[in-house]
Amino acid sequence: MRFCGLDGQKDYPYLYINLGVEDLVLPGFKATDALKKDVFCTKKCPKKDETPKLNLPQSRKDVVPKSSKFDTADIGGICFPVDGEAFDILKEATINALKSSDAGNSILDIYNMRKSVGIACGLSIVIALLYIWLMSMFAEVIAWIAIVLTQLGLIGLTVGCYFYRDNLKQIEAKNIEAGLPGWEAPSASLIDGG
């Protein structure tokens, strides 16, 4: 396997796919087949009608590179078409490839929902900033509300404990009347008054 820009390909850092527009629109065109035979490393991305300078291995010296049918530009080390027709065809081929797989469908779903996702992210930032602003404006009021609610909760807990203790005292009294030791668990009939 050869990697552009590494080892024997140091002077040829760009990946070039040796196809013309007519190759992309042929019925039955498969990108995987093209990548097996028509991919080369080149010194620079070729312009339209320019023959790319390829570093061909000995086994492929019989390959005559086609002159580029479109302008290309380096995008991440790959020579992509940048003019209208080739770019549109490549874009359509990419979308079709994405549609034909489950992973691709997931990516397309996210892409199609980009407006909704963007709006949701923007609104979440606005809501967070509004919440921060409200917290800073009403911090003292919020602190007093928290103190009052805590006090009310403690008073309610105290009252609840008082009534629970009172209920236990009544149960203890009924147990003593029934001849049981004071705090043992009574039967259901003793609690109900029977």
pLDDT of residue 25: 47
| Residue in the structure block whose two tokens are 């492929």 | 60
Contact 190, 175 (CB under 8 A): yes
Q: What is the mean pLDDT of residues 45-49?
A: 79
Confidence check: pLDDT of 194 > 70: no
Stretch 108-116: mean pLDDT: 86
Cβ contact 86:70 at 8 Å? yes
Q: What is the pLDDT of residues 117-137, one digit of tens each?
A: 899 999 999 999 999 998 888
Band the pLDDT of 50: cuts 50, 70, 90: confident
Smallest CA-to-CA distance from 69 within 16, 30, 13, 12 is with 16
Q: Which residue has the higher pLDDT, 70 or 119?
A: 119
Query: Residue 6: pLDDT band by 50, 70, 90 thresholds?
Result: confident
Per-residue pLDDT reduced to its tens digit, 80-95: 777 666 677 767 776 7
Per the prediction, the chain carries an average pLDDT of: 76
Cβ(111)–Cβ(98) below 8 Å: no
CA–CA distance, 87 with 27 (Å, rounded to integer): 18
Q: What is the pLDDT of residue 30?
A: 53
How far apart are alpha carbons 31 and 117 in whole angstroms? 32
Collect all residues with Cβ–Cβ distance below 8 Å to 62 and sequence separation of at least 6. none
Cα–Cα distance between 112 and 103 in angstroms, integer? 14
Helices 114-137 and 102-112 pack at an angle, to 10 degrees, of 50
Instruction: Give every CB contact of residue 97 below 8 A, 6+ residues apart in sequence.
Output: 31, 104
CB atoms within 10 A of CB 52: 22
∠ CA 29-35-40, nearest 5°, is 135
Nearest-CA neighbor of 64 among 75, 56, 74, 73? 56
Residue-wise pLDDT tens digits, 129-164 = 999 998 888 888 888 999 999 999 999 999 999 999
CB-based contact 74:60 (threshold 8 Å): no
